[in-house]
Structure 1
Amino acid sequence: IRPGPIQGNAVHPYLRRRAGAEPVTYLHPSLQPILEDTLGVILYQEQVMQIAIAVCGYSALEADIFRKAMGSHRSHQKMQAERDRFVSGAVRTGLAEPDAEELFKRCSGFTEFGFARAHAAAFAKITYDTAWLKLHYPVHYLAGLLNNQPMGFYSPSVLVGDARRHGVQVLPVDVNASAWEHGTERIGDSGDPRRDYAMRLGLRQVKGIDEASRELLDEQRAIGPYSGVRDFVARTGLGEQVVERLISIGAFDWTDIPRRELLWQLRTTLADADPDHPALGLTDDAQRALGASLPPMTFAERLAADYRELSLSPTAHPVELFRERVAARGVIPIGEAGRRRDRSAIRLAGLAVSIQHPMTAKNFVFIALEDETGMINVTVRPQVYTAYRALLHRHPLLVIDGTLQVEGEVLNVVARRIHPVDAVVAEAAAPEGRQRSTEIDLAKQQRMFR
């Protein structure tokens, strides 16, 4: 939501009126023809100019000058001059002076950041179209968004997490199934595209595979499936580091050979694919025997590999690593916050997917906090931000103690205290028999999630 409607006290009254929760009212009958289609609140710049003309006696040229005077470079002197004229004109039309002052306040607060009607309509059309696509074709919509990155406000990780929470199945990178682009795969025949398709991550998401490799990879995929790691290396010529990344994220899991074993054998595999540069060391039998004895990758290691090499995970969220431990310290899933009452104390844990410092927010800071069940906005007051500033910018995984605000279906948390998740996890012992490795230290967190 733009700052202008917020400053003009338009957002909440409009939403309540649209929902039928409060009656439509006007400060004066002369405002009804101007504001009737927006339920009595100012939403467009043109309405400010119409009010200046119809209610305050401005000419069209003077109304445009009034609009410009309220721009981002307005001066106190110009504003005071406009206020006196605006209020006196509104009073002559029949508004009481307090109502005229309130009308000026709403206009001046709105105009600095408001939209013209045509501009708002263009954004609304795009918003409606994309919302329709997300509702009816969520798998195809997600693939389209990811194939056009970088774009927009949210990272691919957030887009994938949101899609998974809305029922989209995200399939991992697979050298035989993944094209360069992210794509869709049919998994059913119900006739409902929301259930009949899954999204397959493309090779473009893997760090180290750049656009220059696109044509080669698509050509080799068209020839036929790879028979194993050696065949992949021989046909693509991709280097050791890239192949290691592909193994780490499970792109060769279809071989039924554990990832650690494939990684252990990689040097020998590369040498087999390039006989001119033989590997020195253990025999093939010794390599296989040692590789087979290695323990499988843990849940934490697989998740870390996903975020390290893909910047996202198709199957899990980082908070799942420590959910059981933080639950013992009073932390609830974000998805359960809606069951709590307004103004109740709440404790949440999540990944800070964005930290915003809007210039118009009077030093308030806003965090988008995400876990495996949802996302919630967290408001950080200036004094709280000052106390926890260093922590916020060093620790991507946080536990936040705050007060829940509920207005309709909109939830917000006002933070009181902020903790690094490591500290809270350290306080809680894992439930017996259910411990999951959470050995992702701060340095690794910063590399994975920032």
Structure 2
Amino acid sequence: MHLAQKLAGYTMAEADSLRKAMGKKDREEMALQEQKFVDGAVSREIRKDKAQQVFSLMRQFADYGFPKSHAVAYAYLAFQTAYLKAHFPEHFYAAVLSNEIEDSAKVFRYTKEMRGQGIELLPPDVNESEIGFTPLVGAIRYGLAAIKGIGFASVNAIIKARTSGRFRSLSDFTERIEEGSVNKRVLEGLVYSGAFDSLKEGSQTLPSWRARVFAGIDSALARSARSRRAKALGQDDLFGSDSDLTLERLSPLPEAIAWTPSEMLAAEKKALGFYITGHPLDAHAESVSQLGAVASGELASLETGSRATIAGVVTDLQLRTTKKGDRFAIFRLEDHLGSVKCVLWPEPYSRYSVVVQDQAPVLVTGRAEIDENSATIFAEKVLDLNGAVQRKARELVIRLPKGADAAGLCDRIIGLLEQSKGECDFLVELPIEGSVVHLRAHHSLKVQGSGEIEAALREFGCEVRWTGHASAKRSAAAGSKP
């Protein structure tokens, strides 16, 4: 561009047109530009043959120079990035996450990758977090600006206020923060995300602590407003500005009903876009293992059209209507590794609509459609994950306690199971003198598996196992009821 300006009198706009022609390898435009360049150079008392020679070099550069320069630049950048990722992974991921700070989906994707390398993602903290993600040793601290609904003005006010010391309580936080920079909605987002967890008192659980802090938001805001009004009128605080009494003693958090773990995690996801301190599936880890469910990240290895069973939490639930007026559902099923799109057509939806609720842990079985970029499960069956092991089992194995009145206990067991008839066979194991006698129920007596049945059997003192296929063992009294 400078050559065109200096030698041929091009304007900046004309020189940029030449650059575009070179970048696109536009031979017709380059032919026109050559004539313009040579004429301009000659008018500036440069020999025509010399001008043609210069333009010839420029044309050659257009053929290979641009790609080479880009290749060198990108190769150098790729080398620097790879070196940073290999030797300073915490700094690398902190920079990447900060660059995607407003896109929680991308943050979640990179979070999975870094956790695979043993790097922990710590929740946001009003005393520790910066605007973006902060690299630590073996961990990365979540950035305040990545919390949904919290703008940069609020984040800057938080960071500015804590320069005078760590926040000691919710009241201390609302007292010291700049007026108007943090409102109730921002405080709720901070609580949901766990940003006040480092202030937790004693041995309280996180669900209990977050519930109390959430319940104390209104009173903390009201107290800080009264304090500011008093200062504006020139009135000292009741104990004076230098009092050693903490704001927490003056304004203790109210008692509140503890959130359930699932409520806490749902609020966390609302604020961050994904779970960070746990996952709703954690409570069902044993069940998921027994049920043989595949993880969302493993679906890509399946053949399209194959059947798959996957456990997860229902999110982004959408209810729609066909042209015939039948309702169906589209939702995403989220597990620890990601999520997959699920479609529940009208016929199965009519049977499982009660189970398919937002944030519900479920087990989905259906046909998998796989393409290069994504997977979709066309659901045929949806079970509530609570009790799914029992309902999917084909056989219930009941072991009687040693020394029990076998006849009397069997009568009680049969009376219980007859109240919940289904398709699951059952087998009674009776320990006798160092061995076990197996008593299989008559084929007409089958049970519907459930957590309630299991709990009742355990109250009888029995051991309970649910198996995925009928046992090959032969009953000592085959064909007869126990």
Instruction: Name the structure with the higher helix share.
Output: 1
Please give the range of the TM-score, normalised by the shorter of the 2 chains.
Answer: 0.3 to 0.5
Larger radius of gyration: 2
The answer to which structure, 1 or 2, has the higher relative contact order (CA under 8 A, 6+ apart) is: 1
Q: TM-score, normalised by structure 2?
A: 0.45
